[in-house]
Structure 1
Amino acid sequence: MTEPLLPEPSDADLAASRLRLLSTCLRGDAVPEQVGTLLAELHAIVHEELPALYRQGSPADIVDLHGEVVGAIEALRQSCNLPVTGGKWIVGFGGAFSAGKSTLINALLGAPLLPAELDPTTSIATYITHGETDDVLALNVLGQRVRLSDDDLRSISHDELRVHGSEVGHLLRTAVVVRNGFPWHHLALADTPGYSKPEHPDGDPTDADRARDALNAVHSIVWVVSADNGVISDSDLKFLSTLSAAIPKVVAVSRADRKSPEDIKQIVALIRRTLAERNIGVLDVVPVSRRRSAGYPLTPLTDLFDAWSRQRPAPPCPRTVKLALRPYARYIDGELVRAHEHMGATNRALAMLPADDGAIATLEAINAQARADMDRLKAMLTSLAALTRRLFHVLENLGDAMSTPMPEPSELDLLGPKRLALIANLSAIFQRRAAGAGADEADGTTDTAALAAVTADPASGTVVGNNRHAAIWQTLNDLPDVCNAAPLLRRHLSLAWLDSLNHADS
């Protein structure tokens, strides 16, 4: 019997290795003191002062609105601690447990640039991006940046406790794999945790929260569904409905080579129909396979990445925060108007009643309550304005410290990325579809790269005209940015619809 070339590591060696990794994960580089102070002030405003204001009165959707603010601040915190992803278009890969996200990422890269192909049960959000030198950086729970080896990162998975007897992975929030061979210099891919595990088919709370936070902080999403399942699951649909509708999404049907072409065609059609019925907008549904000979190329996705990589996204935090706070200000304004109307109505009624009428006391009580409500709402508006000024002042100072300008966006900035000439861009998409009519036209396939170009960098112009179709025009004009046109497009994929819009503007 031949001896192994290398001796098996002893239990003592394994324990020493995990202790070393534990020490590494707990002793990192803190952010500069000024940045840390500003981040702490942001945290206090967002997690303490704003919720205290909400408790005085808020609309029904305040939890969702505040969640957008929290997500934007957390994404900013990450970029401050791991600046290698700053200024890059981030594509997040999401999906259920073992959907094939990591495998698909390596296939898209054309080489195993992720260290030894990260386990599909990746327990922390892991980014991969371009850099001059290969490196692995991570952010620990203390907000410190640590440097890991490829072997360290590979060892951190859901099976860490069973394999290594430790749970070091719980000390890390996220990791960034930097590779010189990464093909897109201005783009980063994010491999997020599967939101569910076999023992929790409807979603493990911890993993679901991690995945949701990571995906709501990216610029676009590739949602991976295994062709083995034949459908997009109800738990997938529930999770997708919790993600920001403003983030453009593509559904990738992985492992398409395991099914017949006819089965894949039916699976894609079923997924499209199911998403439309659940009002979940996506740019496209594309079958893919890592086997180049299978007939399911990765070019629909790589074309998207090429288009997105040409963008230089501005820091999304200021715009996201202002868009999320604006409905709250409108809510207070609306309540103030109603309180004023109540007080005016009671004043008129009191003036009309005789002095001895028994209803006077009741009306005076209603009037006093309306006056108190007006005073409270005016104070809320004053507090919200002050908090908003402080918040954007901190963001501007933080931008100066990070050499990334983050001024408060103007109302014009909130209209979205060059949302002008929307109809011209939609027309180009539909004309391209018409020119390529055939099998793709029959099953509703869109020109994904063209749509990506529209959502990322539409041409300039103005949406104006004589609106005979006022309701449709108003829908388009109300969109916060072009990316939100995707659900509308999925429901109205017809040249006739486009023609009616064009004629309405003539």
Structure 2
Amino acid sequence: MSYDAHVMDKLRSNFELLRTVIRYSKHPDLKVDLSRIEDIIDRQIPETLQKNAPADFHVLFTNFKNEFEKFKDFILFDKLIGKNVVSLGGGFSSGKSSFLNALMNKRVLPADIDPSTSVPTYIVNGPEHQVQGINIFNTKIDLELKAIRQITHGFGKVDDQNEETLTDPVTLGHVMNSIFLTTPWHHYNHIAFLDTPGYSKADDKNHSAKTDEQIARTHLNSSQFILWFIQADAGTITEEDITFIRTLREDIPKLIIVNKADKKPEQDLREIIAKTKKVLTTKGIAYLDVLAFSNIQPDLYDSAAIRDQLDRWNVQVYESKFARNFKTIFIRCKQFYENEIEQESRRLNRLNKSRTLTDDPTIGECLDSLIMEITRSIAGLKAVNQALRQLQTDFFTELKFISDLAGITMPEPSEIELIQENLKNPLQLLRGYRQKKGLSSDNSAFHLLQATFSNINPVIAGCPGGSEYVNQLVDIIQSQCVIKQQDIHIQDECKASELYAEIFNTHLSLGE
């Protein structure tokens, strides 16, 4: 079969894109040698913990490895270094890509695509358009702007002059790990947007390797800020979203966006926002605000408020999340071994006491055997715990060395040692204790707090701003807690709002 010149040009273009995307390099484009730290991750940690590890070690270790892949993104694409990453999260087809297209006022990112072809995409500001990708062989490749859509929507469809299909389209998203877009259409100098594919459970019809919950969680937990998208036609935030958000780091600020707002009348939309705020507050999930958006009418609804929030994030000082996220696995394992050692030590103490109370040789022999077994168990646990501490030191020493070479801010290993896992929300602890003990709430506390705040317009987990609001809060604290005004330090309106929300949430949670 012979093709005309037009068809041949299309076939040649398709072949060049395919050849580029699947290119393999024995020497990935890295500025630093990762072999030593990869040996710690891939060999030393599993070998050390293979005989006795926490029950959730597989999840911890998978998150740990995913976090390292994110760290490599910063090394491979150095334009990310120093940028505050704003990750876009939410269910599949919640309108994340369309939101970014509306911000750039250009239809760059593909929308409404198959989950298996979705590719995590970073967007940063730059004077010229530049597209690079990392394929599954960890090879960095240069692409054209149009390739972003071709990779995910499919390329290779060729029709002859009679409009008969000669070749069917093929998607390449499954061979791409990530895409990096530099463009002047992105107007935030210190923000890198990360468009994630969304999340899904293993039994979900939209589930794929790209939308796996653990990978989605790693993307979001590695960011400095999160935009979480829900669809207006869903009525409110879903229980699946609530469950997933609970697994994200509480210290990452989250702005909730009710997308596709044009699909609902104004009154219905405001009711959806109010209901979403109530659900989030009741569930104990901290958030900055719930705002409406529509990419069909991007200048309407709460677009100005969303842009104001992005402007504030754009001037925030960058703080890396890598050290804290890497430390999670070490903290959890350390807690596991310390708890195991404590439990075994209690058993040993009881056996030793029992041994002193019997003169029966048969019983004594059995007790001696158990005492020796538990003593060996404790020694083994202590040895693994000590080896884990050494691995932690080795890992963060190597991580600091690599980060310095790549220009990534990373605390000293001695400072990382001080990082502890987030404390539990005290309201959640109180609620759990109350349920466990079958206790009912004392409404007197509810009525006392309600009377105290009766003259204040409550803004739950929001940031109303303004010095008048701060002054009101200072007056309440001063009068109710007998504290001098000069001893009350509120850094900004957001902190004031957060403090007020915490106080107000207390009587809501305990009085429910």
Q: How many Å apart are 1:124 and its aligned residue?
A: 0.3
In structure 1, what is the equivalent of residue 289 of structure 2?
284
**What is the aligned counterpart of 1:189 among 190, 193, 197?**
193
Alignment partners' CA distance in 2, 1:64 and 1:310: 35
- Which segments of 5 or more consecutive residues in structure 2 lack a partner in the other structure? 159-167, 423-452, 467-480, 483-493
In structure 1, what is the equivalent of residue 396 of structure 2?
392
In structure 1, what is the equivalent of residue 172 of structure 2?
168
In structure 1, what is the equivalent of residue 266 of structure 2?
261
8 Å contact kept, 1:72–1:316? no
In structure 2, what is the equivalent of residue 106 of structure 1?
101
In structure 1, what is the equivalent of residue 335 of structure 2?
330
Alignment partners' CA distance in 2, 1:358 and 1:180: 83
Alignment partners' CA distance in 1, 2:38 and 2:502: 40
- Counterpart of 1:253, as a letter, is V
Please say if 1:70 is aligned against 2:65: yes
8 Å contact kept, 2:122–2:194? yes
8 Å contact kept, 2:11–2:156? no
8 Å contact kept, 1:123–1:158? no
CA pair 237-375 structure 1, distance change in 2 beyond 3 A = same
CA pair 324-309 structure 1, distance change in 2 beyond 3 A = farther
- Counterpart of 1:19, as a letter, is F
- Counterpart of 1:62, as a letter, is F
Q: How many Å apart are 1:80 and its aligned residue?
A: 0.9
Q: Cα deviation per residue 1:89-132 (whole Å; 9 max; x = unaligned)?
A: 111112233221122123234x22x62x4334271011111123
**What is the aligned counterpart of 2:86 among 69, 83, 91?**
91
**What is the aligned counterpart of 1:119 among 111, 119, 122?**
111
8 Å contact kept, 2:461–2:501? no
Please say if 1:54 is aligned against 2:49: yes
Q: Cα deviation per residue 1:204-259 (whole Å; 9 max; x = unaligned)?
A: 13232254443333222111112122233344344434444443322200121321
In structure 2, what is the equivalent of residue 21 of structure 1?
17
In structure 1, what is the equivalent of residue 478 of structure 2?
none
In structure 2, what is the equivalent of residue 464 of structure 1?
none
8 Å contact kept, 2:328–2:421? no
Alignment partners' CA distance in 2, 1:33 and 1:246: 31
Q: How many Å apart are 1:159 and its aligned residue?
A: 4.8
Alignment partners' CA distance in 2, 1:292 and 1:45: 51
Q: Cα deviation per residue 1:158-182 (whole Å; 9 max; x = unaligned)?
A: 5558895323222211111111342
Please say if 1:204 is aligned against 2:207: yes
In structure 2, what is the equivalent of residue 340 of structure 1?
345
8 Å contact kept, 2:461–2:498? no
Alignment partners' CA distance in 1, 2:400 and 2:370: 44
8 Å contact kept, 2:154–2:169? no
Give the TM-score normalised by structure 1: 0.74
- Counterpart of 1:329, as a letter, is K
8 Å contact kept, 2:81–2:407? no
Q: Cα deviation per residue 1:32-69 (whole Å; 9 max; x = unaligned)?
A: 5662x32x433332243323333332334434443442
In structure 1, what is the equivalent of residue 472 of structure 2?
none
8 Å contact kept, 1:126–1:190? yes
In structure 2, what is the equivalent of residue 217 of structure 1?
222
8 Å contact kept, 2:110–2:149? yes
8 Å contact kept, 1:136–1:150? yes
8 Å contact kept, 2:345–2:378? yes
Q: How does 1:425-440 map to 2 (within 5 A)?
A: none
In structure 2, what is the equivalent of residue 377 of structure 1?
381
CA pair 68-371 structure 1, distance change in 2 beyond 3 A = same
**What is the aligned counterpart of 1:306 among 301, 308, 311?**
311
Alignment partners' CA distance in 1, 2:44 and 2:354: 40
In structure 1, what is the equivalent of residue 363 of structure 2?
359
- Which segments of 5 or more consecutive residues in structure 1 lack a partner in the other structure? 1-6, 418-433, 451-466, 469-482, 498-506
Please say if 1:248 is aligned against 2:243: no
Other structure's SS at 1:222 match? strand
71-80 vs 341-350, which deviates more? Answer: 341-350
CA pair 214-158 structure 1, distance change in 2 beyond 3 A = farther
CA pair 107-73 structure 1, distance change in 2 beyond 3 A = same
255-264 vs 7-16, which deviates more? Answer: 7-16
CA pair 277-437 structure 1, distance change in 2 beyond 3 A = closer
Q: How many Å apart are 1:12 and its aligned residue?
A: 4.0
Other structure's SS at 2:308 match? helix
Alignment partners' CA distance in 2, 1:331 and 1:445: 34
Q: CA RMSD in A?
A: 3.9
- Counterpart of 2:74, as a letter, is S
In structure 2, what is the equivalent of residue 457 of structure 1?
none
Alignment partners' CA distance in 2, 1:280 and 1:161: 46
- Counterpart of 2:209, as a letter, is T
Alignment partners' CA distance in 1, 2:408 and 2:170: 39
Please say if 1:446 is aligned against 2:470: no
Other structure's SS at 2:189 match? coil
Alignment partners' CA distance in 2, 1:33 and 1:495: 50
In structure 1, what is the equivalent of residue 320 of structure 2?
315
160-169 vs 119-128, which deviates more? Answer: 160-169
Alignment partners' CA distance in 1, 2:272 and 2:205: 22
Alignment partners' CA distance in 2, 1:125 and 1:301: 22
Q: How many Å apart are 1:149 and its aligned residue?
A: 0.7
Please say if 1:404 is aligned against 2:399: no
8 Å contact kept, 2:150–2:171? no
Please say if 1:139 is aligned against 2:109: no
Alignment partners' CA distance in 1, 2:278 and 2:4: 53
8 Å contact kept, 1:319–1:409? no
- Counterpart of 2:46, as a letter, is P
8 Å contact kept, 1:88–1:188? yes
Q: How many Å apart are 1:369 and its aligned residue?
A: 1.4
Alignment partners' CA distance in 2, 1:350 and 1:485: 60
**What is the aligned counterpart of 2:237 among 223, 232, 235?**
232
CA pair 485-153 structure 1, distance change in 2 beyond 3 A = farther
Other structure's SS at 1:410 match? helix
Alignment partners' CA distance in 1, 2:19 and 2:464: 46
Taking every aligned residue pair, what percent have the same amino acid on both sides? 24
